[in-house]
Chains A and B, each alone.
Chain A
């Protein structure tokens, strides 16, 4: 008998008490929990995302779509990046003003080659406000999973408000399990030393998130266009 048959046989014998007409899945799970927590306007949802990202030490910037090339160039320069990983499908304008040498995301690159690159710029599939989470699904402008892992500096562009959802349930509805997914909530961290959160272990130690789109910041009226507000540092 194979281990498969052995294990499945044990499972069936162990469940002898479960009746044939046991409550089916659809009726067995109460779904009375919230689809999202609280009622917010699109703007407030974006604001909550900014707060929660900042709370986990991501640095949040905002600009209009047209200002992305200038802002991204500035962030890369401030970091002193000499090279930047570029996933397929990233709008070419985003890096039009950037000085670092672009390194295309290729299947053949070795991990050592990736390790020599300073920064990476990507978009995302969806962002979750309540948890301060970015989800990448390998779609256009997001690249292979490893490119947002090995370099020490990740700039992620979120189109607001359209890519932002309030909650985890809403995020899962938008995502496809057939794609490899990476959920990112702040820079890499550990709580393994006396249960204190320390940022920066194996993933990028600096995560910068750029909100692209025209969303007036709550209480931020009067901020001149083109001066990106940064929170989180």
Chain B
């Protein structure tokens, strides 16, 4: 199994390192605070947000409960529309399939549009090993690729880089990958975008194979949906002759109509826009328009293991909007890299330990990388109760018990006394000894207060009792002040 960030230190060590990096913290703080405010405004614009959220959550939940049926239907629809469907039980198989498909075209390079699934399986590395070069074309992915870096955010993988750093990366690395950065490149975002446009255009124009992920796949019609901003997605989806899309099983939705919910909630929740600049929808192949061959690789890689847990399965509803990252006080301080996977932040803390299991130190410590403040649940457009799943996973780390790994029922041994437990406890201590990480979450936290478990179940209960889960006040001071103007209006 290809796990991207092998040898990652456990969460607390990585988080501590990030805290010591002032530039990184500044970049992250600036970016997350900006997007938070914008998102709130974009959400406030639609009066029926609560109903849309409920519908989105139920569509996903229903689909997951009948996933076998919808996957078979999807396969049938895609095939009928001229596409070919492949199934991959794990990362290695998915990489084998994509490598073979690229080789069959006779090409030795592919253009890629940002895709979490292909990062998760380490596709670029697998292709590289087979002599195929994969060019990332999303601006942030390009920054990460050129900087030989790791993604730190779902939506904006280079969120930890500021404009001056980006300019330096472009200046030093672009030439090694193709067209060099223009002479005298400044750090203005417009100039940086222009440099990326020029650098990538030559790659788009000559590309014969495109690789993408998918935001949604419609079972009844076989329609694939990719939501993006820059137009690099459209380039990869329409210019090449062969298109290979790698998508997690959970990306399927039952009907065409279901898109009306997610096309409203996803853009507002992720980039805080009424609508993102470009959305592409295609169904199989179309004569004379776009790729002549379309392959869909359906990826399991731990998803069915996640599905097997009745509490944990809700993590598969995620539409990767990244709103939970942007509000998370722990993410803001720890940085995306500390989560040791392509899925950082609150969603990463519940997804990675389920996709990969809780055997490694990093995965065992992730469920503790949270103050359970509940802000992530509040903003989630598909109402994933992240705190609930975190508690469930803590229980699994501490107590062990039945779980499913790679399709097999297993009984996990309690981590007690093992390195994994120590890593987990260090993560918890890290959270509790950084009161600023707790404080920032409070305002939202008290709104989500009912969600916050008072104690952990089972042996975890003893653990929480001795370790003082800090109380979240019913109404934080600042809210009380704003509401009452310092008590003056209290009597009204």
Please give, as numbers and ranges, the residues of chain A lying within 8 Å of B159 by CB-CB distance.
195
Q: CB < 8 Å: which of A34, A133, A145, A194 contacts B238? A: A145
Say yes or no: A29 contacts B304, CB within 8 Å: no
Cα distance A190–B190 in the bound complex, in angstroms: 10
Say yes or no: B67 contacts A180, CB within 8 Å: no
Using A31-B55, A32-B51, A203-B230 as known contacts, say yes or no to A10 and B190 having CB atoms under 8 A apart.
Answer: no
Say yes or no: B218 contacts A184, CB within 8 Å: no
Which of B118-126, B251-259, B361-369 lies at the interface with chain A? B251-259
Nearest-CB residue, chain B, relative to A18: B65
Which of B276-284, B333-341, B393-401 lies at the interface with chain A? B276-284
Please give, as numbers and ranges, the residues of chain B lying within 8 Å of A34 by CB-CB distance.
46-48, 51
Say yes or no: B230 contacts A29, CB within 8 Å: no
Please give, as numbers and ranges, the residues of chain B lying within 8 Å of A168 by CB-CB distance.
260, 263-264, 275
Instruction: Name the distance in Å between A173's Cβ and chain B's nearest Cβ.
Output: 8
Instruction: Name the distance in Å between A109's Cβ and chain B's nearest Cβ.
Output: 11
Interface centre among B140, B162, B278 (most CB of A within 10 A): B278
Q: Mark A89-131, 1 if CB is under 8 A from B, else 0.
A: 0000000000000000001000110010000000000001011
Cα distance A176–B304 in the bound complex, in angstroms: 32
Cα distance A144–B239 in the bound complex, in angstroms: 11
Cα distance A182–B255 in the bound complex, in angstroms: 19
Nearest-CB residue, chain A, relative to B200: A202
Cα distance A159–B126 in the bound complex, in angstroms: 49
Q: CB < 8 Å: which of A9, A33, A37, A111 contacts B239? A: A111
Say yes or no: A172 contacts B230, CB within 8 Å: no
Using A29-B59, A37-B46, A111-B205 as known contacts, say yes or no to A193 and B163 having CB atoms under 8 A apart.
Answer: yes
Nearest-CB residue, chain A, relative to B63: A25
Please give, as numbers and ranges, the residues of chain B lying within 8 Å of A8 by CB-CB distance.
68, 71-72, 87
Please give, as numbers and ranges, the residues of chain B lying within 8 Å of A196 by CB-CB distance.
34, 189
Say yes or no: A172 contacts B256, CB within 8 Å: yes
Q: Mark B274-302, 1 if CB is under 8 A from A, else 0.
A: 11111111110010111000000010100
Using A3-B89, A115-B205, A201-B197 as known contacts, say yes or no to A189 and B277 having CB atoms under 8 A apart.
Answer: yes
Say yes or no: B286 contacts A189, CB within 8 Å: no
Please give, as numbers and ranges, the residues of chain A lying within 8 Å of B235 by CB-CB distance.
149, 202
Q: Does B412 contact A (CB under 8 A)?
A: no
Q: CB < 8 Å: which of A11, A23, A191 contacts B307? A: A11
Which chain B residues (408-435) contact chain A, with CB distance < 8 Å?
A: none
Q: CB < 8 Å: which of A7, A183, A193, A194 contacts B278? A: A183
Cα distance A60–B54 in the bound complex, in angstroms: 36
Please give, as numbers and ranges, the residues of chain A lying within 8 Å of B230 by CB-CB distance.
188-190, 192, 201-203
Q: Could you show 6 A-B contacts with beta carbons less than 8 Å apart? A: A4-B87, A10-B404, A188-B278, A190-B230, A192-B138, A194-B30
The interface of chain B, by Cβ under 8 A from chain A, is: 27, 30-31, 34-35, 46-48, 51-52, 54-55, 58-59, 61-62, 65-68, 71-72, 81, 86-89, 93, 137-140, 143, 156, 158-159, 162-163, 166, 189-190, 192-194, 196-197, 200-201, 204-206, 218, 221-223, 229-232, 234-235, 237-239, 249, 254-261, 263-264, 267, 271, 273-283, 286, 288-290, 298, 300, 304-305, 307-308, 310, 313, 404, 407
* Beyond A177-B223, A202-B197, 17 extra complex contacts between A and B, CB < 8 Å: A4-B87, A7-B249, A15-B307, A28-B58, A31-B55, A33-B48, A37-B47, A130-B274, A145-B237, A191-B156, A193-B189, A193-B192, A194-B30, A194-B31, A194-B34, A195-B31, A202-B231
